[in-house]
């Protein structure tokens, strides 16, 4: 399926008189969800032609802010220029529609562009799109000369289609002019600078403490000498004792100043956005074999007789191979997974040698491997009953699941990032012979994607991954890249 974009003339026909004109005013906007403040006192102007991406962790309030800007939610803090024509395309929800996600998005975007909007607002526009349609979307957005405001976690989209970032972090919106890669680099430099200041303060504290100890020791020696002088009927000296008291007062002031400085730096560090490091642990009963675990010989797959989806597939995967599978939506990628899992809804011919389905791990963006009513601790305890509670908590901790409110509540209440990390923690607790990953990067925020990348790049076994995100795939340590075109599976050359 290819997206049938509207005539390019519609996309670029924005009145020249709007250029650099203020079109949206935000004045002290506060956004709440229940008792929690997601955004506090945010003020900003949006100008004609500006290209903005709203970024932040899942649940930070990005979509709600976009809805307010689109006037889907009314808030007096946001004022639009009179006569401003805006078009809003919400995030696609999972439903039983016979149309694919790409087809539904194409329909919604075409309707939006038909109104000749001055400002286009898109929520996660690249979700559910294959590589061809993602590139088509990026091309369209780069040519769109109106104002663009998007919510996205797509690095390719962020680095190619926007020039301004609004980052929601801990209730504060940071505005940055530039690409996401530049923003992340700046945040890392800020963190390094602040950590260097912390290290310098610690050294100053040690030096101050040592000086104080030396003065106190000198005072002690002087006092002892003074007592000795009294015995010998000589006048005691009080100079060193007075000096020591002054040193104590000065040292105390310095210590207070340094504590205040450290508290101030700590506040600044909390506002900086850097990816929290994840160090996953894998419970391996034995080392993965280097021998073949999957062998497909001249395999053809269909759902109905005489309607082949895949034909003459030949594939070999060894016990520690890392493989990605590319292809357009509907090309047969997920069907190949089903064949490996012995799905009886498929008709297949040819030879399929693969581990038993019980020895294959399968993860998708819906986290079907997690029982929604059970907690993270319960789920891991069921997988590894020999582990103590401390061992379970230590394992979950390595996947950044630390707090009681994360690991002791039913997992149906966890965020998307917490769910994917828990899903991968279950795999790590008992690694399967083969791991199948179907579009697990969909709907994840940027930080969680980095966590998933780290986990996969440390995964010791074999996996087969379906993914449409080039930026994500490019950061994986892969052995092979395969692509399905017109029902044929072929190895993709570099």
Q: List the domain boundaries for the chain.
A: 8-178, 186-271, 292-491
What is the token pair recorded at 234?
Answer: 């000589």
Query: What pLDDT score does 270 carry?
Result: 66
The Cα–Cα gap between 45 and 15 comes to 19
For the chain, give the mean pLDDT: 84
Fold for 8-178, please state it. Rossmann fold (3.40.50)
Listing DSSP states for 237-302 in one string gives P-HHHHHHHHHHHHHHHHHHHHHHHHHHHHHHHHHS--PPP-------SSPPPSSEEEEEEEEEEE
The Cα–Cα gap between 257 and 264 comes to 11
Give φ, ψ of 352 to 5 degrees: -120, 115
| 354 touches 434 (CB < 8 A) | yes
| 449 touches 472 (CB < 8 A) | yes
Beta strands in 284-383 (DSSP E): 292-304, 307-318, 322-327, 347-353, 360-364
Query: What pLDDT score does 242 carry?
Result: 58
- Tell me how far apart the 2 most distant CA atoms of the chain are, in Å: 119
Residue in 420, 433, 429 with CA at minimum distance from that of residue 377? 429
Q: Over the Cα atoms of the chain, what is R_g?
A: 30
135 CB contacts (<8 Å, ≥6 apart)?
Answer: none
Provide the percentage of residues in the chain whose pLDDT is more than 90: 53
| 275 touches 283 (CB < 8 A) | no
Q: CATH number of 292-491: 3.30.70.100, 3.40.50.300, 3.90.650.10, 3.30.420.40?
A: 3.40.50.300
> Would you say the CATH fold of 292-491 matches that of 8-178?
yes
Query: What pLDDT score does 127 carry?
Result: 86
Residue 353: strand pairing partners = 295
Asked if residue 48 has pLDDT above 70, the reply is: yes
Query: What pLDDT score does 459 carry?
Result: 92
Asked if residue 208 has pLDDT above 70, the reply is: no
Per DSSP bridges, beta strands 78-80 and 51-56 are unpaired
Higher pLDDT, 268 or 176: 176
Assign 200 a pLDDT band (cuts: 50, 70, 90): confident
Segment among 219-233, 269-283, 414-428, 431-445 with least mean pLDDT: 219-233
Averaged pLDDT, 72-100:
83
Asked if residue 388 has pLDDT above 50, the reply is: yes
pTM (2 decimals)? 0.77
């Amino acid at each position: 399926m290819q997206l049938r974009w509207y005539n390019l003339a519609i996309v670029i026909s924005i009145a020249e008189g709007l250029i650099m004109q203020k079109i949206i005013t935000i004045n002290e906007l506060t956004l709440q969800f229940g008792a929690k403040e997601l955004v506090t006192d945010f003020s900003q102007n949006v100008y004609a032609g500006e290209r903005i991406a709203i970024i932040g962790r899942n649940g930070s309030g990005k979509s709600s802010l976009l809805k307010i800007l689109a006037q889907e939610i009314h808030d007096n803090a946001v004022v639009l220029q009179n006569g401003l024509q805006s078009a809003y395309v919400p995030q696609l929800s999972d439903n039983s529609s016979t149309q694919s996600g790409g087809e539904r998005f194409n329909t919604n975007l075409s309707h939006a562009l038909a109104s000749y909007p001055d400002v286009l607002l898109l929520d996660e526009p690249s979700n559910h799109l294959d590589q061809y349609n993602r590139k088509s979307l990026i091309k369209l957005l780069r040519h769109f000369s109106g104002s663009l405001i998007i919510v996205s976690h797509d690095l390719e989209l962020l680095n190619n289609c926007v020039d301004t970032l609004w980052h929601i972090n801990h209730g504060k919106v940071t505005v940055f002019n530039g690409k996401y890669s530049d923003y992340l680099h700046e945040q890392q430099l800020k963190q390094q600078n602040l950590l260097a200041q912390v290290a310098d303060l610690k050294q100053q504290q040690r030096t101050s403490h040592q000086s104080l100890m030396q003065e106190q020791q000198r005072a002690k020696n002087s006092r002892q000498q003074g007592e000795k002088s009294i015995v010998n009927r000589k006048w005691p000296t009080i100079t060193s004792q007075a000096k020591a008291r002054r040193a104590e007062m000065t040292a105390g002031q310095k210590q207070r100043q340094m504590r205040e400085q450290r508290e101030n730096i700590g506040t600044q560090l909390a506002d900086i956005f850097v990816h929290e490091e994840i160090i996953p642990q894998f419970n391996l009963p034995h080392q993965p074999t280097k021998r073949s675990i999957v062998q497909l010989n001249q395999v053809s797959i269909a759902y109905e007789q005489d309607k082949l989806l895949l034909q003459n597939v030949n594939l070999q995967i060894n016990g520690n191979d890392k493989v990605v599978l590319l292809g357009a939506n509907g090309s047969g990628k997920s069907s190949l997974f089903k064949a490996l899992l012995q799905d009886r809804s498929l008709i297949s011919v040819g030879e399929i040698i693969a581990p038993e389905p019980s020895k294959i791990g399968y993860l998708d963006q819906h986290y079907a491997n997690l029982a929604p009513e059970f907690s993270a601790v319960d789920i891991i305890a069921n997988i590894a009953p020999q582990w103590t509670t401390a061992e379970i908590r230590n394992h979950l901790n390595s996947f950044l699941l630390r707090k009681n409110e994360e690991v002791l509540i039913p997992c149906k209440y966890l965020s998307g990032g917490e769910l994917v990390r828990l899903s991968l923690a279950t795999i790590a607790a008992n690694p399967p012979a083969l791991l199948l990953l179907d579009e697990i990067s969909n709907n994840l925020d940027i930080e969680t994607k980095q966590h998933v990348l780290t986990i996969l790049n440390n995964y010791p076994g074999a996996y087969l991954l379906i993914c449409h995100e080039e930026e994500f795939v490019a950061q994986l340590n892969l052995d092979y890249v395969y692509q399905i075109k017109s029902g044929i599976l072929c190895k993709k050359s570099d």
